[in-house]
Amino acid sequence: MAAVELRDLLHYPFLPEAQKILASRGISVAGLSKTGSGKNYLDKAADRVVFAIDGKETYPSDTSGDNISDIVTYVLARVLVSCTKDKRTIERFVKAEAKRVFGYLKQEQNQTIKARVCSEFGISLEAERVTVLQYVEMAANIREEKWRLINREVEKGYVTVSSDELEILLSEKIRSYLGSTLPLAVPGAVEREFAPWTDKLLAKTQERTLAEFGAIDESAYPPCIQALIQGAAAGVNLTHSGRFSLVSFLHVIGMNAEQIEGIFARSPDYNPDMTMYQVDHILTNEYTPPSCVTMLTHGVCVSKDATCEKVSHPLNYYREKKRYLERKRRLEENKAKKAAETAEAKAASGAEKKDEPSA
């Protein structure tokens, strides 16, 4: 196996050798916030996650002279996102880290290290084909038609891929690999110790989500959510999945606990204490609403419409429909403005004619 140097571990901190470095330097996670250097590492780790939440750029390498900082902040950032228990924060972190690793890997001059990292993901970059199983796993989240297995050349259990395609598959693989290792099981004492950092990250994710979805537009709700709201208002006892899907959806698009409780308050047999308890429980424990596939499995995907055919998640439906409605409103406003201007111009020219002296 290729010898991995410290520089390599800064770029690829998920390699098992990186964990050994922390142990050899006596750095342990519990109690870290009690020292100045520990707090500094936690601040940097939180910054690393904030970079990911913002989704604008890749977290830069540390240039302070601390030669293990990038490894420590990676490890701590994983602990912090795990403490948030928030899928959105975890997903954004994984996406950004996968992009970072893929960026380094693309520029990697040391072929031995490149091969070593790829082998960690079970891939050979020289390969012109991958097994069907590997292919299905790596291409699962790519939506373009050409990536569907049915459109690929398959022979004796292998799918033929070009070198460019292999790189795309590799970036997907890195993402699923990093994502599969999170969230970590963090001891309660560490969770409590890191709460000041975790709370900031959760607030940042919420702020980012609000910026992403803008003002709430009820007319853009997907049919499943509309049905759940109608059910809640009519006093129907929603299933756990239905209640969870509704509350988490409304929270992600920007409603606070009081506004969500207000929806349940429309029910004839509204119980404020029970509703508050259930809503708070969902908001503090899980945040991301389920995908369409999961909604379908739980019987909460109902009354699908044409927009549903284009999306795989109720949030994507909402985003898509909101954009469409906004475009439509702008067009109608422009049309009304033009009609008013034309009417005004006509009225003005009529008035001018009236004022003209008769021959």
Residues lying near ligand SF4 in the complex (CB under 6 A): 222-224, 292, 295, 301, 304, 308, 314, 317
Size of the chain in residues: 359
First CA to last CA distance, the chain: 104
d(CA 210, CA 207): 5
153 or 218: whose CB is closer to ligand SF4?
Answer: 218
As measured in angstroms, the least distance from the Cβ of 314 to ligand SF4 is 4
Q: How many CA atoms lie within 13 A of 73 on its CB side?
A: 25
| Least Å from the CB of residue 330 to ligand SF4 | 24
Instruction: Quote the crossing angle between the two packed helices 272-285 and 257-264, to the nearest 10°.
Output: 130
CB 51 within 8 A of CB 57: yes
If the CB atoms of residues 202 and 292 are measured against ligand SF4, the closer one turns out to be 292
Tell me whether residue 22 or residue 296 sits nearer to ligand SF4 (CB atom).
296
- Closest approach of Cβ 142 to ligand SF4, in Å? 20
Minimum distance, C-beta of residue 245 to ligand SF4, in the bound complex (Å): 8
Report the residue number, 83 or 315, with the smaller CB distance to ligand SF4. Answer: 315
Query: How far apart are CB 292 and ligand SF4 at their closest, in Å?
Result: 3
**Contact (Cβ atoms closer than 8 angstroms) between residue 49 and residue 77:** yes
* Cα separation, 227 vs 30, whole angstroms: 46
Q: Confirm if 325 and 220 have CB atoms less than 8 A apart.
A: yes
Report the residue number, 13 or 222, with the smaller CB distance to ligand SF4. 222
Which structure tokens are listed for 327?
């475009």
Asked if 125 and 157 count as a contact pair (C-beta separation under 8 A), the reply is no
Q: Which residues pair with 158 in a beta bridge?
A: 131, 155
Rounded-to-integer distance, Cα 149 and Cα 135, Å: 8
**5: which DSSP letter?**
P
d(CA 158, CA 152): 10
> Would you state the structure tokens that stand for residue 209, as one six-digit string?
């989500």
On the CB side of 85, how many CA atoms lie within 13 Å of its CA?
14
Nearer to ligand SF4, 131 or 307 (CB): 307
CB of 295 to ligand SF4, least distance (A): 4
Token pair, residue 137, equals 């796993």
The nearest distance, CB 239 to ligand SF4, in angstroms, is 14
Residue closer to ligand SF4 (CB basis): 152 or 304: 304
Nearer to ligand SF4 by C-beta: 58 or 241? Answer: 241
Of 22, 43, 23, the residue nearest 33 (C-alpha):
43
Q: Compute the least distance from the CB of residue 321 to ligand SF4, in Å.
A: 9
131 strand-pairing partners: 158
Which of 193, 177, 203, 187 is CA-nearest to residue 287?
203
| Six-digit token string for 15 | 């390699």
Least Å distance, CB 178 to ligand SF4, is 27
Q: Closer CB to ligand SF4, residue 222 or residue 242?
A: 222
Q: Smaller CB distance to ligand SF4: residue 204 or 251?
A: 251
Tokens describing residue 257: 């606990």
Question: Smallest distance, Å, CB 308 to ligand SF4?
Answer: 3
